[in-house]
Amino acid sequence: AQTVTQSQPEMSVQEAETVTLSCTYDTSESDYYLFWYKQPPSRQMILVIRQEAYKQQNATENRFSVNFQKAAKSFSLKISDSQLGDAAMYFCAYRILFSGGGADGLTFGKGTHLIIQP
Amino acid sequence: KAGVTQTPRYLIKTRGQQVTLSCSPISGHRSVSWYQQTPGQGLQFLFEYFSETQRNKGNFPGRFSGRQFSNSRSEMNVSTLELGDSALYLCASTGEAATDTQYFGPGTRLTVL
Protein backbone atom coordinates (compact mmCIF):
# COMPACT_ATOMS: atom_id res chain seq x y z
CA ALA A 1 0.00 0.00 0.00
CA GLN A 2 1.16 3.48 -0.78
CA THR A 3 1.46 5.55 2.38
CA VAL A 4 2.60 8.82 3.88
CA THR A 5 3.95 8.87 7.43
CA GLN A 6 4.15 11.95 9.60
CA SER A 7 5.77 10.72 12.77
CA GLN A 8 5.13 13.86 14.84
CA PRO A 9 1.44 14.16 15.79
CA GLU A 10 2.18 17.50 17.48
CA MET A 11 5.01 20.01 17.50
CA SER A 12 5.47 23.18 19.51
CA VAL A 13 7.80 26.07 18.70
CA GLN A 14 8.46 29.54 20.06
CA GLU A 15 7.49 32.46 17.87
CA ALA A 16 10.39 33.54 15.61
CA GLU A 17 12.13 30.16 15.99
CA THR A 18 12.63 27.52 13.30
CA VAL A 19 10.79 24.21 13.21
CA THR A 20 11.05 21.16 10.97
CA LEU A 21 8.15 18.80 10.28
CA SER A 22 9.06 15.34 9.08
CA CYS A 23 7.42 13.24 6.39
CA THR A 24 8.30 9.95 4.76
CA TYR A 25 6.39 8.29 1.98
CA ASP A 26 6.30 4.96 0.30
CA THR A 27 5.51 4.57 -3.38
CA SER A 28 6.94 2.39 -6.10
CA GLU A 29 6.09 4.95 -8.75
CA SER A 30 8.79 7.16 -10.19
CA ASP A 31 6.79 10.14 -11.39
CA TYR A 32 5.04 12.12 -8.70
CA TYR A 33 4.71 15.46 -6.98
CA LEU A 34 4.98 16.16 -3.27
CA PHE A 35 3.05 18.76 -1.30
CA TRP A 36 2.69 20.34 2.08
CA TYR A 37 -0.75 21.71 2.90
CA LYS A 38 -1.81 23.53 6.04
CA GLN A 39 -5.27 23.40 7.56
CA PRO A 40 -5.98 26.11 10.17
CA PRO A 41 -8.96 25.88 12.53
CA SER A 42 -11.12 27.42 9.79
CA ARG A 43 -10.66 24.02 8.01
CA GLN A 44 -9.67 25.52 4.65
CA MET A 45 -6.83 23.47 3.19
CA ILE A 46 -4.11 25.81 1.91
CA LEU A 47 -1.12 24.88 -0.24
CA VAL A 48 2.18 25.69 1.46
CA ILE A 49 4.73 24.32 -0.99
CA ARG A 50 5.13 21.73 -3.74
CA GLN A 51 8.07 19.76 -5.08
CA GLU A 52 8.43 17.93 -8.36
CA ALA A 53 10.07 14.55 -7.72
CA TYR A 54 12.27 14.84 -10.80
CA LYS A 55 13.85 18.04 -9.51
CA GLN A 56 16.85 17.73 -7.22
CA GLN A 57 16.70 21.31 -6.07
CA ASN A 58 14.66 21.80 -2.91
CA ALA A 59 11.62 24.05 -3.25
CA THR A 60 11.36 27.25 -1.21
CA GLU A 61 8.51 29.69 -0.65
CA ASN A 62 9.51 32.64 1.50
CA ARG A 63 9.88 31.28 5.07
CA PHE A 64 9.00 27.73 3.99
CA SER A 65 11.48 25.30 2.50
CA VAL A 66 11.71 21.56 2.05
CA ASN A 67 14.45 18.99 2.36
CA PHE A 68 13.68 16.41 -0.32
CA GLN A 69 15.66 13.18 -0.19
CA LYS A 70 14.28 11.04 -3.02
CA ALA A 71 16.30 7.89 -2.31
CA ALA A 72 15.25 7.96 1.33
CA LYS A 73 11.68 8.95 0.36
CA SER A 74 11.81 11.79 2.83
CA PHE A 75 10.19 15.21 2.43
CA SER A 76 10.52 17.46 5.48
CA LEU A 77 9.20 21.00 5.82
CA LYS A 78 11.21 23.75 7.51
CA ILE A 79 9.45 26.86 8.73
CA SER A 80 11.76 29.74 9.57
CA ASP A 81 10.86 32.72 11.76
CA SER A 82 7.65 31.03 12.95
CA GLN A 83 4.66 33.31 13.26
CA LEU A 84 1.41 32.95 15.21
CA GLY A 85 -0.44 32.61 11.91
CA ASP A 86 1.52 29.45 11.12
CA ALA A 87 -0.41 27.54 13.79
CA ALA A 88 -2.35 24.81 11.97
CA MET A 89 -2.44 21.14 11.03
CA TYR A 90 0.18 20.43 8.40
CA PHE A 91 -0.36 17.61 5.94
CA CYS A 92 2.25 16.02 3.72
CA ALA A 93 0.91 14.50 0.50
CA TYR A 94 1.95 13.13 -2.87
CA ARG A 95 0.25 12.75 -6.20
CA ILE A 96 1.31 10.09 -8.69
CA LEU A 97 1.38 11.01 -12.36
CA PHE A 98 0.20 8.34 -14.82
CA SER A 99 2.34 7.60 -17.84
CA GLY A 100 -0.66 7.89 -20.14
CA GLY A 101 -1.64 11.28 -18.76
CA GLY A 102 -3.69 12.25 -15.75
CA ALA A 103 -2.85 11.71 -12.12
CA ASP A 104 -4.01 9.87 -9.04
CA GLY A 105 -5.74 11.57 -6.16
CA LEU A 106 -3.62 13.02 -3.38
CA THR A 107 -2.41 10.56 -0.74
CA PHE A 108 -2.16 12.32 2.60
CA GLY A 109 -0.38 11.70 5.87
CA LYS A 110 -2.25 11.93 9.19
CA GLY A 111 -0.94 15.42 9.84
CA THR A 112 1.18 17.29 12.39
CA HIS A 113 -0.47 19.79 14.69
CA LEU A 114 1.85 22.80 14.92
CA ILE A 115 1.56 25.05 17.98
CA ILE A 116 3.24 28.44 18.04
CA GLN A 117 4.12 29.70 21.52
CA PRO A 118 4.11 33.53 21.80
CA LYS B 1 -10.41 35.24 -9.12
CA ALA B 2 -12.91 33.57 -6.80
CA GLY B 3 -11.79 30.41 -5.03
CA VAL B 4 -13.46 27.04 -4.79
CA THR B 5 -16.92 27.24 -3.25
CA GLN B 6 -18.86 24.46 -1.59
CA THR B 7 -22.47 24.36 -0.54
CA PRO B 8 -23.90 23.81 1.93
CA ARG B 9 -21.24 24.39 4.58
CA TYR B 10 -23.06 22.33 7.21
CA LEU B 11 -25.57 19.53 6.89
CA ILE B 12 -27.34 17.24 9.34
CA LYS B 13 -29.00 14.06 8.10
CA THR B 14 -30.29 10.84 9.61
CA ARG B 15 -29.24 7.30 8.81
CA GLY B 16 -30.75 5.90 5.63
CA GLN B 17 -31.23 9.29 3.99
CA GLN B 18 -29.30 10.51 0.98
CA VAL B 19 -27.40 13.76 0.56
CA THR B 20 -26.04 15.86 -2.29
CA LEU B 21 -23.10 18.22 -1.91
CA SER B 22 -22.09 20.83 -4.45
CA CYS B 23 -18.74 22.25 -5.53
CA SER B 24 -17.97 25.11 -7.89
CA PRO B 25 -14.33 25.15 -9.03
CA ILE B 26 -12.09 28.11 -9.68
CA SER B 27 -13.04 29.79 -12.93
CA GLY B 28 -11.28 28.08 -15.82
CA HIS B 29 -10.54 24.89 -13.90
CA ARG B 30 -12.01 21.77 -15.45
CA SER B 31 -11.01 19.15 -12.91
CA VAL B 32 -12.77 18.61 -9.60
CA SER B 33 -11.69 16.09 -6.95
CA TRP B 34 -13.51 15.07 -3.79
CA TYR B 35 -11.97 14.00 -0.47
CA GLN B 36 -13.41 12.74 2.80
CA GLN B 37 -11.77 13.82 6.06
CA THR B 38 -12.48 11.98 9.31
CA PRO B 39 -10.57 11.87 12.61
CA GLY B 40 -10.03 8.13 12.28
CA GLN B 41 -9.17 7.65 8.61
CA GLY B 42 -7.76 11.08 7.84
CA LEU B 43 -8.01 12.46 4.34
CA GLN B 44 -9.08 9.99 1.68
CA PHE B 45 -9.58 10.48 -2.03
CA LEU B 46 -13.08 9.78 -3.32
CA PHE B 47 -13.03 10.56 -7.04
CA GLU B 48 -12.03 13.05 -9.69
CA TYR B 49 -14.05 14.47 -12.56
CA PHE B 50 -12.69 16.11 -15.68
CA SER B 51 -14.81 17.39 -18.55
CA GLU B 52 -17.92 15.70 -17.15
CA THR B 53 -16.22 12.28 -16.95
CA GLN B 54 -15.01 10.43 -13.91
CA ARG B 55 -11.29 10.19 -14.49
CA ASN B 56 -10.20 8.48 -11.32
CA LYS B 57 -11.68 7.02 -8.16
CA GLY B 58 -10.62 5.94 -4.71
CA ASN B 59 -11.67 2.96 -2.66
CA PHE B 60 -15.17 3.86 -1.53
CA PRO B 61 -18.43 1.89 -1.81
CA GLY B 62 -20.89 2.53 -4.61
CA ARG B 63 -23.08 4.58 -2.25
CA PHE B 64 -20.70 7.42 -3.02
CA SER B 65 -21.18 8.85 -6.48
CA GLY B 66 -20.63 12.08 -8.28
CA ARG B 67 -21.10 13.95 -11.48
CA GLN B 68 -19.84 17.03 -13.23
CA PHE B 69 -21.75 19.49 -15.34
CA SER B 70 -20.72 21.29 -18.50
CA ASN B 71 -19.81 24.40 -16.47
CA SER B 72 -17.40 22.22 -14.42
CA ARG B 73 -19.51 22.42 -11.27
CA SER B 74 -19.61 19.07 -9.52
CA GLU B 75 -21.98 17.31 -7.19
CA MET B 76 -21.31 14.42 -4.86
CA ASN B 77 -24.10 12.15 -3.69
CA VAL B 78 -24.13 9.72 -0.80
CA SER B 79 -27.07 7.34 -0.60
CA THR B 80 -28.28 5.30 2.37
CA LEU B 81 -26.26 7.32 4.84
CA GLU B 82 -24.44 5.56 7.67
CA LEU B 83 -23.14 7.02 10.92
CA GLY B 84 -19.61 6.53 9.63
CA ASP B 85 -20.26 8.90 6.74
CA SER B 86 -20.08 11.82 9.17
CA ALA B 87 -17.10 13.78 7.93
CA LEU B 88 -15.77 16.93 6.38
CA TYR B 89 -16.08 16.62 2.60
CA LEU B 90 -13.53 18.65 0.71
CA CYS B 91 -13.59 19.55 -2.93
CA ALA B 92 -10.49 20.58 -4.86
CA SER B 93 -10.18 22.07 -8.32
CA THR B 94 -7.28 21.82 -10.73
CA GLY B 95 -6.41 23.24 -14.11
CA GLU B 96 -6.14 21.09 -17.21
CA ALA B 97 -2.71 19.60 -16.59
CA ALA B 98 -2.27 16.69 -14.23
CA THR B 99 0.75 18.52 -12.84
CA ASP B 100 -1.35 21.48 -11.76
CA THR B 101 -1.86 22.03 -8.04
CA GLN B 102 -5.16 21.18 -6.40
CA TYR B 103 -6.84 24.10 -4.65
CA PHE B 104 -9.32 23.26 -1.94
CA GLY B 105 -12.69 24.65 -0.95
CA PRO B 106 -13.81 25.27 2.65
CA GLY B 107 -15.58 21.92 2.87
CA THR B 108 -19.03 20.68 3.82
CA ARG B 109 -19.41 19.31 7.33
CA LEU B 110 -21.86 16.39 7.20
CA THR B 111 -23.27 14.97 10.42
CA VAL B 112 -25.29 11.75 10.27
CA LEU B 113 -27.51 11.05 13.29
Secondary structure (3-state) at A75: strand
CA-based nearest distance B78→chain A, Å: 19
Chain A neighbors of B56, CB-CB under 8 A: 102-105
What pLDDT, in 10s, does the model give residues B30-67?
Answer: 999 999 999 999 999 999 999 999 988 999 999 999 99
* Weakly modelled stretches of chain A, pLDDT under 70: 1-2
Interface contact flag, A43 B33, Cβ < 8 Å: no
Residue A80 CB burial class (10 angstroms; 0-12, 13-18, ≥19)? middle
What's the confidence (pLDDT) of residue B1?
66
Note whether A108 contacts B105, CB cutoff 8 Å.
no
- pLDDT score recorded for residue A17: 97
**Which among A42, A47, A105 has CB closest to B56?**
A105
Check if the beta carbon of residue A43 is closer than 8 Å to that of residue A55: no
CA-to-CA distance for B19 and B17, rounded, in angstroms? 7
Residue B85 pLDDT exceeds 70: yes
Are A32 and A95 within 8 A, CB to CB?
Answer: yes
Task: Look at A35 and B107 and tell me if their CB atoms are within 8 Å.
Answer: no
Q: Are A64 and A36 in contact (CB under 8 A)?
A: yes
Q: Largest Cα–Cα distance of chain B, in whole Å?
A: 40
**What pLDDT score was predicted for residue B67?**
97
Q: What burial class does residue A31 get, using C-beta atoms within 10 Å of its C-beta: 0-12 exposed, 13-18 middle, 19+ buried?
A: middle
Residues B8-26, mean pLDDT to the nearest whole number: 97
Spell out the residues 6+ positions from residue B36 whose beta carbon is closer than 8 angstroms to its own: B43, B44, B46, B60, B87, B88, B89, B90
Nearest alpha-carbon partner for A4 in A26, A22, A36, A28: A26
Distance in Å, alpha carbon of A48 to nearest chain B alpha carbon:
11
Predicted confidence (pLDDT) per residue in A12-43, tens digit: 999 999 999 999 999 988 899 999 999 998 88
User: Minimal Cα–Cα distance from B80 to chain A, Å?
Assistant: 25
How many inter-chain contacts (A to B, CB under 8 Å) are there?
Answer: 59
**H or E element, residue B68:** strand B64-68
Q: Bigger pLDDT: B40 or B17?
A: B17
Confidence (pLDDT) at A101:
77
Mean pLDDT of B74-80: 97
Question: What is the pLDDT at residue A8?
Answer: 96
* Closest Cα in chain A to B42: A110
Task: State the nearest Cα–Cα gap between B15 and chain A, in angstroms.
Answer: 25
* Cα→Cα distances A13→A9, A36, B57, Å: 14, 18, 38
Give dist(CA B94, CA A113) in Å, integer: 26
- The pLDDT value given to residue A1: 63
Q: Parallel, antiparallel, or unpaired: how do β-strands A107-108 and A46-52 relate?
A: unpaired
